[in-house]
């Protein structure tokens, strides 16, 4: 496979990264996890993604920050009542392979595939790929195809950590309807307006909104979503940050996760496919 002129490999951080530097943006993607670590458009030079200063980058645990890929389940165990199954599935802790890299007139396109799609808790035939387009905006497409004879059901998410200047100044726009609150035993509540943050926040919004904006001290980050049935919003706040070894105690102040997610799940019949896409501007 030939690397495009805008693309190179780098091994200086522990994990192998694909570095993209084209006329529109700089970005980096870890092969471990098929995990986007950074995206910085040249139009404003503002990094859109948050990466923990204490992220573990030796391939021994999922990377804290960037865009973890959650598949074949979102959250704990896909309703299988098996606590040994890894949270958010197992693709974020696999080594992926870059199978193509191409420069186009307005973006660079990378295509990655995971080492294997079967693992504990999921034994169906499935093909997964991630297509990342890096231009003035970035899009990331988690593609699932069922080439086998049996239908299978999955949940999944693009669990993006966005960089913000201060969580207390953030306002989210574009999410409405009801949400389930994990911090309150899944109590169902109406989405607040304005949507601001003052405590641990862990919410599954059953909202198919295709555009959410994150407003923070003059900056606006646009988050587009398609193929989802929900949007998940997460900030661990201080107490939980302190208990997390891969997040600095004050880390919660400069990140917010807005996740393009499938939490109800879908069934893929033989021969069918699904695209979960997030765009970031």
Catalytic amino acids? 159, 259
90 is an interface residue for ligand BG6 by CB under 6 A:
no
Interaction of residue 162 with ligand BG6, rule CB under 6 A: no
Closest by Cα among 154, 139, 175, 166 to 264: 154
User: How many CA atoms, within 13 angstroms, populate the side-chain half-sphere of residue 20?
Assistant: 33
Looking at residues 58 to 87 of the shown chain, list those that interact with ligand BG6 (rule: CB under 6 A). Answer: 62, 75, 87
Helices (H) and strands (E) in the chain, counts: 1, 20
CB of 96 to ligand BG6, least distance (A): 18
CB closer to ligand BG6, 25 vs 63: 63
Q: Which of 78, 111, 159, 180 binds ligand BG6 (CB under 6 A)?
A: 159
Instruction: Please identify the residue of the shown chain whose CB is closest to the bound ligand BG6.
Output: 87
Q: Where are the alpha helices (DSSP H) in the chain?
A: 237-243
Q: Which is nearer to ligand BG6, 146 or 241 (CB)?
A: 241
Closest approach of Cβ 218 to ligand BG6, in Å? Answer: 28
CB 62 within 8 A of CB 68: yes
For residues 55 and 98, which CB has a smaller minimum distance to ligand BG6 in the complex? 55
**Under rule CB under 6 A, residue 180 binds ligand BG6:** no
Longest CA–CA separation in the chain, Å: 52
Using rule CB under 6 A, residue 88 touches ligand BG6: yes
232 forms part of the interface with ligand BG6 (CB under 6 A) = yes
Strand partners, 84: none
From first CA to last CA, the distance across the chain in angstroms is 29
Nearest distance from C-beta of residue 158 to ligand BG6, angstroms = 11
What token pair was written down for 72?
A: 């074949």
Residue 57 engages ligand BG6 in binding (rule: CB under 6 A): no
Min dist CB 87 to ligand BG6, Å, is 4
What is the rounded distance in angstroms from the CA atom of residue 125 to the CA atom of residue 270? 10
Contacts with ligand BG6 by CB under 6 A: the residue count is 10
Which phi-psi region, left, alpha or beta, contains residue 66 (left: φ > 0; alpha: ψ -120 to 50)? left
Return d(Cα 172, Cα 180) in angstroms, integer: 17
DSSP string, 191-237: PPSSB--SS-EEEEE----SEEEEEETTEEEEEEEES-SEEEEEE-H
Smallest distance, Å, CB 92 to ligand BG6? 8
Burial 16-54 (b: 16+ CB within 10 A, else e): bbbbbbbebbbbbbbbbbbbbbbbbbeeeeeebbbbbee
Binding mask 234-273 for ligand BG6 (x = CB under 6 A): x------------------------x--------------
Residue list 191-210, contact with ligand BG6 (CB under 6 A)? 202
Nearer to ligand BG6, 70 or 128 (CB): 70
- Footprint of ligand BG6 (CB under 6 A): 62, 75, 87-88, 159, 182, 202, 232, 234, 259
């Amino acid at each position: 496979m030939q690397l495009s002129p805008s693309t190179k490999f780098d091994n200086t951080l522990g994990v192998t990264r694909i570095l993209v530097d084209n006329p529109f943006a700089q970005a980096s993607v870890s092969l471990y996890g098929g995990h986007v670590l950074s995206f910085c458009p040249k139009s404003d030079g503002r990094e859109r993604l948050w990466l923990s200063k204490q992220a573990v980058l030796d391939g021994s645990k999922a990377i804290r920050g960037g865009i973890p890929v959650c598949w074949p389940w979102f959250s704990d165990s896909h309703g299988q009542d098996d606590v040994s199954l890894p949270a958010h599935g197992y693709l974020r802790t696999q080594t992926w392979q870059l199978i193509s890299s191409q420069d186009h007139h307005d973006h660079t396109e990378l295509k990655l595939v995971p080492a294997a799609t079967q693992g504990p808790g999921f034994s169906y035939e499935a093909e997964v790929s991630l297509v990342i387009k890096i231009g003035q905006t970035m899009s990331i497409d988690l593609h699932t195809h069922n080439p086998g004879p049996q239908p299978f059901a999955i949940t999944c998410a693009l669990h993006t950590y966005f960089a913000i200047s201060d969580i207390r100044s953030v306002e989210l726009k574009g999410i409405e309807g009801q949400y389930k609150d994990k911090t309150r035993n899944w109590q169902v509540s109406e989405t607040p307006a304005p949507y601001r943050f003052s405590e641990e926040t862990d919410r599954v919004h059953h909202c198919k909104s295709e555009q959410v904006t994150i407003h923070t001290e003059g900056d606006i980050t646009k988050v587009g979503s398609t193929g989802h049935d929900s949007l998940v919003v997460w900030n661990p706040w201080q107490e939980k940050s302190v208990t997390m070894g891969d997040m600095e105690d004050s880390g919660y102040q400069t990140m917010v996760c807005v996740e393009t997610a499938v939490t109800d799940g879908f069934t893929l019949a033989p021969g069918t496919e699904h695209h979960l896409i997030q765009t970031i501007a």
